[in-house]
Amino acid sequence: MRLPIADGPTVRAYALGLLRAHRSALTRIAVLHGLAATAGLAGPWLLGRVVDGITHGTTGGFIDRMVAVGLVAVLTQAALTRYATRASIVFGEQVFARLREEFVETVTTLPLSTVERAGTGDLVARTTNDVNRLQHAVRFGVPRVIVAVVSITLTVVACVLVSPLVALALFVGVPGMVTVVRWYLRRATPAYVREAAAYATLNGTITESVEGARTVDALSLGPRRHRRVRSDLHEAFRAERATLNLRTVLFPGVDLAFVLAPAAVLLWGGWLAADGRVSLGAVTSIVLYGYQMAGPVWELIFWVDEIQVAMTALARIVGVQLVAPDRTAGTDRPVDERIAAEGLRYAYREGHDVLHGIDLDLVPGERLAVVGPSGAGKSTLGRLLAGIHPPTGGRVTVGGVPLVDLPLDELRGHVALVTQEHHVFVGSVADNLRLAAEHADDHALEHALRAVDAWDWVQALPEGLGTAVGSGGAALTPAQAQQLALARLVLLDPHTLVLDEATSLLDPRAARHLERSLSAVLAGRTVVAIAHRLHTAHDADRVAVVQDGMVSEIGAHDDLVAAGGDYAALWRSWQHEA
Amino acid sequence: MRSLPLADPGTPPTSGPWPLLGWLARKQAGPLTAAVLLGILTFACQAVLPWLTGRAVDGGLTHGFGRDLFRAVTGLVALGLVSAAASAIGHRFDVTCWMRAAFTSSELVGRTAARSGHTITAELPTGEVVSAVANDSLRIGEMYANAGRFVGSLVAYAVVAVLMLRVSVPLGLVVVLGLPTVAAVLGLLVKPLQRKQAAQREASGRLTTLGADTVSGLRILRGIGGEHVFTARYREQSQKVRAAGVDVAGTQSWLDGLQVLLPGAFVVALVWLGAHLALTGTVTPGQLVSTYGFAAFLAWPVQNATMMLQAATRAHVGAAKVVAVLRVVPASGARPASAAAPAPGVALVDETSGVRVDTGRVVGLVSADPDESAAIATRMGRFDDEAEATTPVLLGGVALADLPKEEVRRRIVVAEATPHLFSGPLVDELDVRGVADRTHVSHALALADAHDVLESLPGGLDGELTERGRSLSGGQRQRVALARALLTDPEFLVLVEPTSAVDAHTEARIAARLADARRGRSTLVVSASPVVLEHVDEVQLVEDGRLVARGRHDDLLAGAAGADVADRYGRIVGRRLDEERTTAAGGAERTGGAS
């Protein structure tokens, strides 16, 4: 399943809503740019007047006056441009900052089941590539489009004011140009999206080759990786060639309009001037206006193109907001710390139940080991017990209230989950810990780190608690990363913990060390330990054997061994091997 | 248009950035020449347009609606058409040059990354290598893409200078000297802007990292809460980016204003001078119009020249970074082989420790220190010739470092503890040698007990593995990597902790099947798990880097190599159990005390 992508009307409605919300700021910017563009129209008009003046005989004084007006116009345009530019950049920054903040807030509250089914790759791409692509359009595109539209409109108005009759000739190339531009814009977006995707794939291939350099060498994957780069480059080439072909039509199509316009104005204007119906100065002004329009027209085409591409990014960003929440917080509050599961079912794909109705009561303070073969549903059970996924059937309650009816913050005070995955967040060591307790002081952090036996190495880091870790910062070993995760638990202080093979991805030595730290964290809490090593089970208060999505046996280790069921058989083989 | 990438990217000079740039230029001399010629044609036509416009105005003035006007207008249209065509075709050559240069350097970087083994990660951060393709190669390309327009601009400038000086020497001099001065002044202001933009890019880059980080750690964030703490941090950084953007706006707006003011003031001055000359009859009104047109047009070549300067600077920086990647020398196999490979049926021996894999044996390697046994296994893969000069590994009596590297890789495969999975169809990623059929692949998956992967991956064997196999669980990744290693079916297979992340039942199943499947082929398994060691032909125990005992698992435990060895060996293979039991008991006691 993929994350949703918003459809055209939704995206347009969203974009319009955004524009409407900032109507007054946008108007102000448009007015400033409009005034600047108006001042910029003085040049050709003045030159026309001067040409007329010279043809009909004039004085140096007239020319000086005209030039003085021109100078004032340039100064005004420069000053207005300065304020208009500033206002539009500040505006773009503001709108975009809000947009990306809202987006990330949405992302962090997405149902985890959705994220897992879609894979994090898509979401990472939306958070990075799409946000960046959109940023370009919002920051630079929107202001440039405003400038271009205002300039073109005002230039046309100026031509009409100078001489509506002559100005007619300006539009001789317009029908052709409009046809070509429409043809182009219809095809451009998918073509440029494909181009961007081709480069993203290429960068991904290089990243993989470098990150997996050791495996590439060990398995002689070099030629294969090289071939992959070549095929990625070939796709990039084909994508580039496709957009190039589009531009090969667009460029001359638009250029033609700007070749025809001045020629038509000169001929038509020359004919009119011969009759004395217009002055040659008016013709001159309009020819120069025609040349002057080429810049804004090209800029408009360029940005419409970019904004179309940005709209596809926006569709993916808005799409994330379309994911329905998987829970709504209720008002009931737990009466005690007792966690219970009733008739628990769960399906990742509809109709494929992974759990087939599990009942389980946790005794506060007990240690329950969950064992069973891979793929039996142990991890899924753990996630439901921690309230990560809402069950598809049945319910998990704490103190009589379903876990998924609790606000997230409160839920984590009751039960937390630690898995075999380890991830060090970008930021300082302290930042990593404060994710669990926002207002914890350094003393509390130190206490938590000491509890998990991590204070020594944290203290030895260049800046102690303040040392930057995570991507780009100091590298931590997987064991250290997992210790930070455990320290977070100490700070979070939930009464129930679900440990899903928390140490299984570590090498045996690191795992041993970590498990010592772990015991400090477990003290005084209800613990559900999902494990693949049976000794964990031996020491637990109770053992639940999960097979094929059902609890097949549950009870104290000794009782189960005595009962002579599956667990007993497993235990015997394990003991024999050890 | 020739299809890219070219059949062979060739061997570039790596002595420095300029030699690389020169080599790239020579490799595409044809398209580059075409781009330059078309650039000259485009710009020469464009340069003549204002002159013809002036002629048309004068023609209309003196002869009214007549031959002079027609001639000038016909000229305008003809030149315009030629210029439009030349510009469109020229653009195709510009892009061709861009692609040739960018793709060639991308491929060279990709080839180096694929060939260099772990040296590349040791010498350069991953980001730098990726950036050599994602940014630096593209920047190199830009220089060649700009070449045509740059040369064209220079020619256009010369054409305008000639035309202007013919009209009026003072006017000509003002135009020819004035605009570069304006450009130079504006150039000075660009520096502070670039500094501020760089500051914003940096802040923005941090924000992107923070965003990507949130998503990568989302599962963990969910387990412990902390979503709103994270959102608050993101918002804080986002506001920093905004503030940096406002800072940019200040400088940018001044620059934009000056970009209007300086050229504008220049044109005003020119018109003033020209109009007074026209008044005295030195220049015609049409020539005044031409002058205005030239001044407006020349801004374009001057801008192109500035762009070329910036493009060349960036290309030089980019080329230096690409060269840094291309200079990476693989840690193994860089020297030519000095010995012929021995025939199959010989033993693989680590001289330093005395650990040996005899032909056709499945050997378990055990050490109290897992790093120590892993290091021995790694040496058998010949990953670093220099480091291993003092710790030779012999294949049939010949040092691995003296053999042809392909021969070593073909006969010996070392699968390390944290193997990397690559994105692509599962069946292709499993069958890395491309020799097995689907039955073999399924069989290998079954051997590694990884059949569940087929169910969790939509499309089964043809399903796409995502980058690093992220869509799989940790245990699944390990089993898929094991299946991949088994499928290479080499003479010697070395597996480091192949089952550390799987549960006990599965481990037992894999261990039994593995020993069966490799029966008669030489295999070394590094593991301290009794479940695995039970199934191997022979266990070799290493202490302090030396082989101290060998024998079957049961025999070693039973004291066949002496009672003290049995004791120490028993503690290593049983230790996980003992120690964890103590820990868990401690935890349980405390839990009991508190409840």
More confident of the two residues A136 and B98: B98
Mean pLDDT of B235-255: 91
pLDDT of residue A508: 59
Integer CA distances (angstroms), A307 to A88, A253, B595, in order: 16, 21, 63
Mean pLDDT of B277-289: 88
Secondary structure, 3-state, A118-140: HCHHHHHHHHHHHHHHHHHHHHH
Say whether pLDDT at A300 is over 80: yes
CA-nearest of A338, A366, A358, A361 to A539 is A366
More confident of the two residues A2 and B417: B417
Say whether pLDDT at B577 is over 50: no
B69 in reach of chain A (CB within 8 A)? yes
Contacts with A291 (C-beta within 8 Å, 6 or more apart), sequence order: A258, A262, B293, B296
User: Coil, strand, or helix at residue A363?
Assistant: coil
Identify which of A60, A212, A411 has the shortest CB distance to residue B279. A60
Distance from the B117 Cα atom to the nearest Cα atom in chain A, whole angstroms: 5
- The length of chain A is 578
Mean pLDDT of B526-546: 92
Query: For B149-181, how does the pLDDT look when each residue is reduced to its tens digit (9 = 90+)?
Result: 999 999 998 999 898 888 888 888 888 888 788
Of A214, A367, A428, A439, which to mutate for an interface test with B (greatest number of B Cβ within 10 Å)? Answer: A214
Whole-angstrom distance, CA of residue B228 vs CA of residue B219: 14
**Residues A43 and A30 sit within 8 Å (Cβ to Cβ):** no
Count residue pairs from A and B with Cβ separation < 8 A. Answer: 541
Interface touch B110/A92, C-beta < 8 Å: no
Give φ, ψ of B562 to 5 degrees: 105, 150
What mean pLDDT, rounded, does chain B reach?
A: 87
Interface touch A47/B289, C-beta < 8 Å: yes
CA-nearest of B483, B579, B446, B478 to A533 is B579
Tell me: domain A339-577, CATH 3.40.50.300, correct? yes
**Residues A122 and A6 sit within 8 Å (Cβ to Cβ):** no
Q: Would you give the distance in Å from CA B523 to the centre of its chain?
A: 35
Say whether pLDDT at A445 is over 50: yes
Query: For B545-557, how does the pLDDT look when each residue is reduced to its tens digit (9 = 90+)?
Result: 999 999 999 999 9
CA-nearest of A399, A349, A354 to A379 is A354
Say whether pLDDT at A509 is over 70: no
Mean pLDDT of A1-12: 84
Distance from the A543 Cα atom to the nearest Cα atom in chain B, whole angstroms: 14
Say whether pLDDT at A1 is over 60: no
Of B105, B112, B222, which to mutate for an interface test with A (greatest number of A Cβ within 10 Å)? Answer: B222
| Fold match flag (A8-321 vs A339-577) | no
Distance from the B77 Cα atom to the nearest Cα atom in chain A, whole angstroms: 6
CA-nearest of A350, A421, A340 to A379 is A421
Strands A427-428, A468-469: parallel, antiparallel or unpaired by DSSP?
antiparallel
Query: For A218-266, how does the pLDDT look when each residue is reduced to its tens digit (9 = 90+)?
Result: 999 999 999 999 999 999 999 999 999 999 999 999 999 999 999 999 9
Identify which of B60, B213, B497 has the shortest CB distance to residue A426. B213
Q: Which residues of B414-425 are buried (b: 16+ CB within 10 A; e: fewer)?
A: bbbbebbbbbbe
Sequential DSSP letters for A194-225:
HHHHHHHHHHHHHHHHHHTHHHHHHTT-HHHH
Whole-angstrom distance, CA of residue B305 vs CA of residue B326: 31
Interface touch B285/A51, C-beta < 8 Å: yes
Of B138, B292, B455, B509, which to mutate for an interface test with A (greatest number of A Cβ within 10 Å)? Answer: B292
Query: For B182-198, how does the pLDDT look when each residue is reduced to its tens digit (9 = 90+)?
Result: 888 888 877 888 888 88
pTM of the entire structure? 0.83
Whole-angstrom distance, CA of residue A369 vs CA of residue A545: 8
Interface touch B114/A51, C-beta < 8 Å: no
Domain boundaries along the sequence of chain A: 8-321, 339-577
Element (H, E) at A493: none
Contacts with B96 (C-beta within 8 Å, 6 or more apart), sequence order: B1, B2, B28, B31, B35
Whole-angstrom distance, CA of residue B335 vs CA of residue B328: 14
Contacts with A458 (C-beta within 8 Å, 6 or more apart), sequence order: A429, A449, A464, A465, A467
pLDDT-wise least confident of A120-134, A158-172, B236-250, B579-593: B579-593
Query: For A68-82, how does the pLDDT look when each residue is reduced to its tens digit (9 = 90+)?
Result: 999 999 999 999 999
Q: Which residues of A touch B258 (CB under 8 A)?
A: 78
Alpha helices in B459-562 (DSSP H): 474-488, 504-517, 530-533, 553-558
Q: Which fold has domain A8-321?
A: ABC transporter transmembrane region fold (1.20.1560)
Q: Which residues of A touch B497 (CB under 8 A)?
A: 507-508
Identify which of A121, A212, A251 has the shortest CB distance to residue B88. A251
Query: For B349-365, how does the pLDDT look when each residue is reduced to its tens digit (9 = 90+)?
Result: 999 999 999 999 999 99
Structure-block tokens of residue A201: 């794939």
- The length of chain B is 595
Mean pLDDT of B422-428: 92
Whole-angstrom distance, CA of residue A533 vs CA of residue A514: 15
Mean pLDDT of A551-569: 89
Highest-scoring range by mean pLDDT, A516-520, B174-178, B559-563? B559-563
Interface touch B215/A120, C-beta < 8 Å: yes
